[in-house]
Amino acid sequence: MRVLITGGGTGGHINPALAIAQKVRQQDPYNEILYVGTKTGLESELIPKEGFEFKYVTAKFLRRKISIENVKTFFASVKGVMEAAKIINDFKPDIVVGTGGYVCGPVVLAASLKKVPTMIHEQNVFPGITNRMLAKVADVVAISFNEAEKYFPGQVRDKLILVGNPVRKDILNADRRKSRARLNLRSDDILIYSFGGSGGQISLNEAIIDVIKKYNGQNGISIIHVTGKKLHDGFMDKIEEEKIILDENIEIKDYMYDAATALSGADIVIGSAGAITIAEITLLGVPSILIPKTYTAENHQEYNARALEKEGAAKVILEKDLSGKELIKAIEDIIKNKNLLKTMALNSKRMGNADVENKIYESMVKLVGSKSGSNK
Protein backbone atom coordinates (compact mmCIF):
# COMPACT_ATOMS: atom_id res chain seq x y z
CA MET A 1 0.00 0.00 0.00
CA ARG A 2 1.32 3.43 -0.94
CA VAL A 3 0.35 5.99 1.71
CA LEU A 4 0.68 9.77 1.53
CA ILE A 5 0.35 11.41 4.95
CA THR A 6 -0.06 15.12 5.58
CA GLY A 7 -0.44 17.25 8.68
CA GLY A 8 1.57 19.98 10.31
CA GLY A 9 2.10 23.23 12.09
CA THR A 10 2.10 21.89 15.66
CA GLY A 11 2.97 18.67 17.44
CA GLY A 12 -0.76 18.10 17.92
CA HIS A 13 -1.08 17.43 14.18
CA ILE A 14 2.39 16.02 13.54
CA ASN A 15 2.51 13.39 16.30
CA PRO A 16 -0.64 11.52 15.23
CA ALA A 17 0.55 11.65 11.62
CA LEU A 18 3.87 10.21 12.73
CA ALA A 19 2.10 7.51 14.76
CA ILE A 20 0.06 6.51 11.69
CA ALA A 21 3.21 6.47 9.53
CA GLN A 22 4.97 4.24 12.06
CA LYS A 23 2.02 1.85 12.11
CA VAL A 24 1.93 1.66 8.29
CA ARG A 25 5.65 0.89 8.20
CA GLN A 26 5.43 -1.64 11.03
CA GLN A 27 2.42 -3.43 9.54
CA ASP A 28 4.10 -4.29 6.24
CA PRO A 29 7.70 -3.51 5.22
CA TYR A 30 6.52 -3.28 1.60
CA ASN A 31 4.21 -0.37 2.41
CA GLU A 32 5.58 2.92 1.03
CA ILE A 33 5.12 6.21 2.86
CA LEU A 34 5.50 9.83 1.78
CA TYR A 35 4.94 12.72 4.17
CA VAL A 36 3.86 16.10 2.80
CA GLY A 37 4.07 19.22 4.95
CA THR A 38 5.25 22.81 4.68
CA LYS A 39 8.83 23.90 4.14
CA THR A 40 9.06 25.91 7.37
CA GLY A 41 6.70 23.96 9.65
CA LEU A 42 7.87 21.89 12.62
CA GLU A 43 7.14 18.78 10.56
CA SER A 44 10.01 19.63 8.19
CA GLU A 45 12.38 19.12 11.13
CA LEU A 46 10.75 16.18 12.92
CA ILE A 47 9.65 13.89 10.08
CA PRO A 48 13.01 13.39 8.29
CA LYS A 49 14.55 12.55 11.68
CA GLU A 50 12.18 9.58 11.85
CA GLY A 51 13.40 8.28 8.50
CA PHE A 52 10.39 9.16 6.34
CA GLU A 53 10.58 10.78 2.91
CA PHE A 54 9.39 14.37 3.13
CA LYS A 55 8.12 16.81 0.50
CA TYR A 56 6.55 20.22 0.96
CA VAL A 57 3.80 22.34 -0.61
CA THR A 58 2.70 25.95 -0.27
CA ALA A 59 0.02 26.56 2.36
CA LYS A 60 -1.14 29.49 4.49
CA PHE A 61 -3.30 29.89 7.56
CA LEU A 62 -6.98 30.71 6.93
CA ARG A 63 -8.25 33.46 9.21
CA ARG A 64 -11.76 33.16 10.58
CA LYS A 65 -12.62 36.80 9.80
CA ILE A 66 -12.72 38.49 6.41
CA SER A 67 -9.21 39.77 5.77
CA ILE A 68 -6.88 40.77 2.95
CA GLU A 69 -4.63 37.99 4.25
CA ASN A 70 -7.28 35.48 3.23
CA VAL A 71 -6.91 36.64 -0.38
CA LYS A 72 -3.22 35.75 -0.12
CA THR A 73 -4.22 32.46 1.48
CA PHE A 74 -6.52 31.71 -1.45
CA PHE A 75 -3.76 32.14 -4.03
CA ALA A 76 -1.31 30.20 -1.85
CA SER A 77 -3.87 27.41 -1.59
CA VAL A 78 -4.33 27.27 -5.37
CA LYS A 79 -0.57 27.00 -5.75
CA GLY A 80 -0.51 24.36 -3.00
CA VAL A 81 -3.19 22.27 -4.72
CA MET A 82 -1.19 22.33 -7.96
CA GLU A 83 1.99 21.32 -6.12
CA ALA A 84 0.15 18.58 -4.26
CA ALA A 85 -1.38 17.28 -7.50
CA LYS A 86 2.10 16.94 -8.99
CA ILE A 87 3.35 15.06 -5.92
CA ILE A 88 0.32 12.76 -6.13
CA ASN A 89 0.92 12.14 -9.83
CA ASP A 90 4.51 11.18 -9.10
CA PHE A 91 3.96 9.10 -5.95
CA LYS A 92 0.64 7.52 -7.00
CA PRO A 93 -0.70 6.88 -3.49
CA ASP A 94 -3.42 4.33 -2.77
CA ILE A 95 -4.69 6.62 0.01
CA VAL A 96 -4.07 10.11 1.41
CA VAL A 97 -4.42 10.64 5.16
CA GLY A 98 -4.60 14.11 6.73
CA THR A 99 -4.28 14.84 10.44
CA GLY A 100 -5.07 18.55 10.46
CA GLY A 101 -3.29 21.86 10.10
CA TYR A 102 -3.69 24.13 7.11
CA VAL A 103 -1.26 22.11 4.96
CA CYS A 104 -3.91 19.39 4.83
CA GLY A 105 -6.22 21.66 2.85
CA PRO A 106 -4.44 21.68 -0.53
CA VAL A 107 -3.14 18.10 -0.20
CA VAL A 108 -6.42 16.39 0.69
CA LEU A 109 -8.34 18.56 -1.78
CA ALA A 110 -5.93 17.65 -4.59
CA ALA A 111 -6.29 13.97 -3.72
CA SER A 112 -10.07 14.21 -3.72
CA LEU A 113 -10.08 15.95 -7.12
CA LYS A 114 -7.88 13.16 -8.47
CA LYS A 115 -10.22 10.50 -7.04
CA VAL A 116 -7.63 9.16 -4.62
CA PRO A 117 -9.23 7.72 -1.42
CA THR A 118 -8.94 10.20 1.44
CA MET A 119 -9.20 9.99 5.21
CA ILE A 120 -8.88 12.83 7.71
CA HIS A 121 -8.31 12.44 11.43
CA GLU A 122 -9.62 14.95 13.99
CA GLN A 123 -7.88 14.90 17.36
CA ASN A 124 -10.07 17.29 19.35
CA VAL A 125 -13.60 17.35 20.72
CA PHE A 126 -14.15 20.54 18.73
CA PRO A 127 -12.89 20.06 15.15
CA GLY A 128 -10.49 22.49 13.52
CA ILE A 129 -11.62 24.69 10.64
CA THR A 130 -9.53 22.79 8.06
CA ASN A 131 -11.04 19.44 9.00
CA ARG A 132 -14.56 20.84 9.12
CA MET A 133 -14.10 22.02 5.54
CA LEU A 134 -12.33 18.87 4.33
CA ALA A 135 -14.99 16.62 5.89
CA LYS A 136 -17.22 17.50 2.93
CA VAL A 137 -14.78 16.03 0.39
CA ALA A 138 -12.98 13.32 2.40
CA ASP A 139 -14.18 9.72 2.13
CA VAL A 140 -13.73 8.92 5.83
CA VAL A 141 -13.58 11.21 8.87
CA ALA A 142 -11.93 9.60 11.89
CA ILE A 143 -12.78 11.23 15.24
CA SER A 144 -11.26 10.83 18.70
CA PHE A 145 -14.18 11.76 20.96
CA ASN A 146 -17.85 10.82 20.66
CA GLU A 147 -18.72 14.45 21.45
CA ALA A 148 -17.05 15.58 18.21
CA GLU A 149 -19.88 14.19 16.09
CA LYS A 150 -22.24 17.06 16.86
CA TYR A 151 -19.75 19.64 15.56
CA PHE A 152 -19.60 18.21 12.04
CA PRO A 153 -22.26 19.07 9.43
CA GLY A 154 -25.14 16.62 9.33
CA GLN A 155 -24.44 15.59 5.74
CA VAL A 156 -21.02 14.15 6.65
CA ARG A 157 -21.96 12.19 9.76
CA ASP A 158 -22.31 8.94 7.85
CA LYS A 159 -18.56 9.24 7.10
CA LEU A 160 -17.59 9.43 10.78
CA ILE A 161 -15.76 6.61 12.57
CA LEU A 162 -14.65 6.70 16.21
CA VAL A 163 -11.01 5.63 16.58
CA GLY A 164 -9.36 7.76 19.29
CA ASN A 165 -6.01 9.53 19.11
CA PRO A 166 -2.91 7.65 17.95
CA VAL A 167 0.33 8.05 19.86
CA ARG A 168 3.89 7.48 18.74
CA LYS A 169 5.58 4.10 19.02
CA ASP A 170 8.05 5.31 21.67
CA ILE A 171 5.14 6.32 23.93
CA LEU A 172 3.36 3.00 23.37
CA ASN A 173 6.50 1.08 24.30
CA ALA A 174 7.57 3.26 27.23
CA ASP A 175 8.42 1.41 30.47
CA ARG A 176 7.94 3.41 33.69
CA ARG A 177 10.58 1.58 35.72
CA LYS A 178 13.23 1.92 33.02
CA SER A 179 12.32 5.59 32.47
CA ARG A 180 12.63 6.43 36.17
CA ALA A 181 15.94 4.59 36.38
CA ARG A 182 17.18 6.60 33.39
CA LEU A 183 16.12 9.79 35.18
CA ASN A 184 17.87 8.68 38.42
CA LEU A 185 14.62 8.69 40.39
CA ARG A 186 14.02 6.62 43.50
CA SER A 187 10.76 4.69 43.90
CA ASP A 188 9.22 7.28 46.24
CA ASP A 189 10.47 10.38 44.38
CA ILE A 190 7.85 12.64 42.79
CA LEU A 191 8.56 13.77 39.22
CA ILE A 192 6.63 16.75 37.90
CA TYR A 193 6.84 17.09 34.13
CA SER A 194 5.51 20.36 32.73
CA PHE A 195 5.27 21.57 29.15
CA GLY A 196 2.96 23.82 27.19
CA GLY A 197 2.67 21.91 23.93
CA SER A 198 5.24 21.85 21.15
CA GLY A 199 5.54 25.65 21.06
CA GLY A 200 5.42 26.29 24.80
CA GLN A 201 2.87 28.28 26.83
CA ILE A 202 3.58 31.75 28.17
CA SER A 203 1.11 31.55 31.07
CA LEU A 204 2.58 28.23 32.26
CA ASN A 205 6.14 29.55 31.93
CA GLU A 206 5.19 32.49 34.13
CA ALA A 207 3.43 30.41 36.79
CA ILE A 208 6.06 27.66 36.94
CA ILE A 209 8.67 30.17 38.20
CA ASP A 210 7.02 30.15 41.64
CA VAL A 211 6.82 26.35 41.55
CA ILE A 212 10.54 26.14 40.79
CA LYS A 213 11.28 28.54 43.65
CA LYS A 214 9.30 26.39 46.08
CA TYR A 215 10.76 23.01 45.13
CA ASN A 216 14.27 24.04 44.05
CA GLY A 217 16.69 21.85 46.01
CA GLN A 218 13.90 19.99 47.79
CA ASN A 219 14.66 16.34 48.39
CA GLY A 220 12.23 13.83 46.85
CA ILE A 221 10.71 16.16 44.24
CA SER A 222 12.11 16.67 40.74
CA ILE A 223 10.85 18.98 37.98
CA ILE A 224 11.41 18.83 34.25
CA HIS A 225 10.03 21.94 32.57
CA VAL A 226 9.92 22.48 28.81
CA THR A 227 9.68 26.13 27.82
CA GLY A 228 9.24 25.88 24.05
CA LYS A 229 12.13 26.86 21.77
CA LYS A 230 11.03 30.44 21.06
CA LEU A 231 10.30 31.13 24.73
CA HIS A 232 13.41 29.52 26.22
CA ASP A 233 15.76 32.52 26.24
CA GLY A 234 13.14 34.76 27.83
CA PHE A 235 12.41 32.13 30.45
CA MET A 236 16.07 31.73 31.38
CA ASP A 237 16.40 35.52 31.58
CA LYS A 238 13.54 35.51 34.10
CA ILE A 239 15.26 32.78 36.13
CA GLU A 240 18.37 34.98 36.24
CA GLU A 241 16.36 38.10 37.15
CA GLU A 242 14.77 36.21 40.05
CA LYS A 243 18.29 35.19 41.16
CA ILE A 244 17.32 31.51 41.10
CA ILE A 245 20.28 29.15 41.10
CA LEU A 246 18.86 25.91 39.80
CA ASP A 247 19.61 22.84 41.88
CA GLU A 248 20.09 19.39 40.35
CA ASN A 249 16.43 18.44 40.95
CA ILE A 250 15.28 21.07 38.41
CA GLU A 251 15.83 20.61 34.67
CA ILE A 252 14.83 23.22 32.07
CA LYS A 253 14.64 22.31 28.38
CA ASP A 254 13.62 24.24 25.28
CA TYR A 255 12.15 21.13 23.62
CA MET A 256 11.75 17.53 24.80
CA TYR A 257 12.86 15.07 22.15
CA ASP A 258 12.62 12.13 24.57
CA ALA A 259 9.08 12.83 25.74
CA ALA A 260 8.42 9.10 26.22
CA THR A 261 10.90 8.88 29.10
CA ALA A 262 9.63 12.03 30.83
CA LEU A 263 5.94 11.15 30.42
CA SER A 264 6.21 7.53 31.51
CA GLY A 265 8.45 8.45 34.44
CA ALA A 266 6.25 11.30 35.67
CA ASP A 267 3.92 11.29 38.68
CA ILE A 268 2.16 14.47 37.56
CA VAL A 269 2.03 16.12 34.15
CA ILE A 270 1.31 19.85 33.99
CA GLY A 271 0.47 21.24 30.60
CA SER A 272 -1.98 22.57 28.08
CA ALA A 273 -4.82 20.34 26.97
CA GLY A 274 -3.84 19.43 23.44
CA ALA A 275 -5.56 16.27 22.27
CA ILE A 276 -2.36 14.31 21.71
CA THR A 277 -1.02 15.25 25.13
CA ILE A 278 -4.24 13.88 26.59
CA ALA A 279 -3.97 10.70 24.53
CA GLU A 280 -0.41 10.15 25.72
CA ILE A 281 -0.97 10.78 29.42
CA THR A 282 -4.10 8.61 29.53
CA LEU A 283 -2.38 5.79 27.68
CA LEU A 284 0.37 5.88 30.33
CA GLY A 285 -2.04 6.53 33.21
CA VAL A 286 -0.50 9.76 34.52
CA PRO A 287 -2.48 12.27 36.65
CA SER A 288 -2.47 15.78 35.24
CA ILE A 289 -3.02 19.45 35.93
CA LEU A 290 -4.34 20.85 32.66
CA ILE A 291 -4.21 24.51 31.65
CA PRO A 292 -6.20 24.90 28.39
CA LYS A 293 -4.83 27.54 26.05
CA THR A 294 -7.53 30.18 25.64
CA TYR A 295 -6.35 31.37 22.20
CA THR A 296 -6.86 28.01 20.49
CA ALA A 297 -9.60 27.73 17.87
CA GLU A 298 -13.07 27.79 19.44
CA ASN A 299 -11.42 27.19 22.84
CA HIS A 300 -11.19 23.49 21.92
CA GLN A 301 -8.60 22.73 24.60
CA GLU A 302 -11.06 23.42 27.40
CA TYR A 303 -13.43 20.86 25.87
CA ASN A 304 -10.56 18.35 25.93
CA ALA A 305 -9.54 19.16 29.51
CA ARG A 306 -13.06 18.97 30.91
CA ALA A 307 -13.40 15.44 29.51
CA LEU A 308 -10.56 14.31 31.82
CA GLU A 309 -11.73 16.39 34.75
CA LYS A 310 -15.18 14.79 34.50
CA GLU A 311 -13.58 11.35 34.88
CA GLY A 312 -11.42 12.35 37.86
CA ALA A 313 -8.16 12.05 35.93
CA ALA A 314 -7.14 15.72 35.97
CA LYS A 315 -7.45 19.06 37.69
CA VAL A 316 -8.21 22.00 35.39
CA ILE A 317 -6.99 25.58 35.86
CA LEU A 318 -8.10 28.12 33.27
CA GLU A 319 -5.45 30.56 32.07
CA LYS A 320 -7.41 33.51 33.51
CA ASP A 321 -7.16 31.89 36.96
CA LEU A 322 -3.58 30.68 36.65
CA SER A 323 -0.90 31.93 39.00
CA GLY A 324 2.08 30.44 40.74
CA LYS A 325 0.05 30.25 43.95
CA GLU A 326 -2.84 28.39 42.28
CA LEU A 327 -0.49 25.97 40.55
CA ILE A 328 1.39 25.19 43.77
CA LYS A 329 -1.93 24.59 45.55
CA ALA A 330 -3.04 22.13 42.85
CA ILE A 331 0.30 20.30 43.05
CA GLU A 332 0.21 20.14 46.85
CA ASP A 333 -3.38 18.86 46.87
CA ILE A 334 -2.25 15.90 44.76
CA ILE A 335 1.19 15.00 46.10
CA LYS A 336 0.14 15.26 49.75
CA ASN A 337 -2.74 12.84 49.21
CA LYS A 338 -1.33 9.51 48.02
CA ASN A 339 -4.82 8.04 47.65
CA LEU A 340 -5.85 10.90 45.35
CA LEU A 341 -2.65 10.50 43.33
CA LYS A 342 -3.32 6.77 42.90
CA THR A 343 -7.01 7.29 42.06
CA MET A 344 -6.21 9.93 39.45
CA ALA A 345 -3.64 7.60 37.90
CA LEU A 346 -6.17 4.77 37.69
CA ASN A 347 -8.82 7.06 36.20
CA SER A 348 -6.31 8.36 33.65
CA LYS A 349 -5.27 4.84 32.66
CA ARG A 350 -8.91 3.80 32.32
CA MET A 351 -9.42 6.51 29.70
CA GLY A 352 -6.40 5.45 27.65
CA ASN A 353 -6.69 3.60 24.35
CA ALA A 354 -3.82 1.47 23.09
CA ASP A 355 -5.60 0.10 20.00
CA VAL A 356 -6.04 3.33 18.03
CA GLU A 357 -3.39 2.64 15.38
CA ASN A 358 -4.94 -0.74 14.55
CA LYS A 359 -8.38 0.84 14.12
CA ILE A 360 -7.00 3.53 11.84
CA TYR A 361 -4.93 1.11 9.76
CA GLU A 362 -7.86 -1.29 9.34
CA SER A 363 -10.07 1.61 8.23
CA MET A 364 -7.42 2.67 5.71
CA VAL A 365 -7.18 -0.84 4.25
CA LYS A 366 -10.97 -1.10 4.10
CA LEU A 367 -11.27 2.26 2.33
CA VAL A 368 -8.59 1.39 -0.22
CA GLY A 369 -10.27 -1.97 -0.84
CA SER A 370 -13.74 -0.48 -1.26
CA LYS A 371 -12.51 2.19 -3.67
CA SER A 372 -10.45 -0.20 -5.78
CA GLY A 373 -13.41 -2.56 -5.90
CA SER A 374 -15.81 0.17 -7.00
CA ASN A 375 -13.40 1.19 -9.80
CA LYS A 376 -13.33 -2.28 -11.34
- Give 177-211 as a 3 state SS string: HHHHHHCCCCCCCEEEEEECCCCCCHHHHHHHHHH
To the question of whether residue 12 is assigned a binding role by annotation, the answer is yes
To the question of whether residue 105 is assigned a binding role by annotation, the answer is no
φ and ψ at residue 242, rounded to 5 degrees: -80, 0
**Torsion angle of C-alpha atoms 84, 90, 92, 95, degrees rounded to 10:** -30
To the question of whether residue 10 is assigned a binding role by annotation, the answer is yes
To the question of whether residue 124 is assigned a binding role by annotation, the answer is yes
Please state, in angstroms and rounded to a whole number, the distance separating the CA atoms of residues 301 and 128: 11
To the question of whether residue 301 is assigned a binding role by annotation, the answer is yes
Encode 279-289: b = buried (16+ Cβ within 10 Å), e = exposed.
bbbbbbbbbbb
φ and ψ at residue 118, rounded to 5 degrees: -130, 140
Please report, in angstroms and rounded to a whole number, the separation of the first and last CA atoms in the chain. 18
Exposed, middle or buried by CB within 10 Å (0-12, 13-18, 19+), for 376? exposed
Please state, in angstroms and rounded to a whole number, the distance separating the CA atoms of residues 120 and 7: 10
What lies within 8 Å, CB to CB, of 231 at 6+ separation is: 199, 200, 202, 205
To the question of whether residue 182 is assigned a binding role by annotation, the answer is no
To the question of whether residue 168 is assigned a binding role by annotation, the answer is yes
Binding residues for UDP-N-acetyl-alpha-D-glucosamine: 10-12, 124, 168, 198, 301
Binding residues: 10-12, 124, 168, 198, 301
